[in-house]
Amino acid sequence: MLYNRTFTMIKPDAVEKGYAGAILSKINASGFRIVSMKMIQMSQRDAELFYAVHKERPFFNDLVSFMSRGPIVVAILEKENAVDDFRTLIGATNPEEAAEGTLRKQFATSVGENAVHGSDSNENAQIEAAFHFSSREMF
């Protein structure tokens, strides 16, 4: 059976620019149901833990300071084939390579400040969702 949930973050760049509502609207229009959602600001420590898999990458420090610099919207989304379909909706990591009609094409600024996160596997979707939400926050 296909796993039917993914985890997303509307990142500080997109929230700062007032894009959160437009992004959520496109997510809903693309057939995803919101299972959980809240606005938070990650501490530097939160961001280091969330992105621990990237800690050896040259962009790790920039990523941590970017992701903790302002509020973000975190959400769990449900749809058949959620992980892959959401990756298609958001587009390539680098907005210059993102297809027309994708969220990153429309809302992202650069490879670092790329507006939206989407889990890259079912396993990571579960880990990332559990990082931000308890089972009592899943509806």
Q: Which residues are marked as active site?
A: 117
List alpha helices for 3-121, DSSP H. 12-16, 20-29, 44-50, 60-67, 82-90, 103-107
Tell me which stretch binds ligand CMP (CB under 6 A): 18-26, 32-40, 41-49, 109-117: 109-117
Cα 129 to Cα 19, 65, 76, 106, 108, distances in angstroms: 22, 21, 6, 25, 23
Q: Which residues between 22 and 41 bind ligand CMP (CB under 6 A)?
A: none
Binding ligand CMP by CB under 6 A: which of 26, 79, 104, 117? 117
Nearer to ligand CMP, 39 or 139 (CB): 39
**Which residues does residue 122 pair with via DSSP β-bridges, in sequence order?**
none
**Of the candidates 1, 36, 13, which has an alpha carbon nearest to the alpha carbon of residue 103?**
13
Binding ligand CMP by CB under 6 A: which of 2, 41, 49, 59? 59
Told to check if 71 binds ligand CMP by CB under 6 A, we report no
Told to check if 127 binds ligand CMP by CB under 6 A, we report no
In the structure, how many helices (H) and strands (E) does the chain have?
7, 4
Told to check if 122 binds ligand CMP by CB under 6 A, we report no
Told to check if 92 binds ligand CMP by CB under 6 A, we report no
Told to check if 112 binds ligand CMP by CB under 6 A, we report yes
Binding ligand CMP by CB under 6 A: which of 24, 34, 111, 127? 111
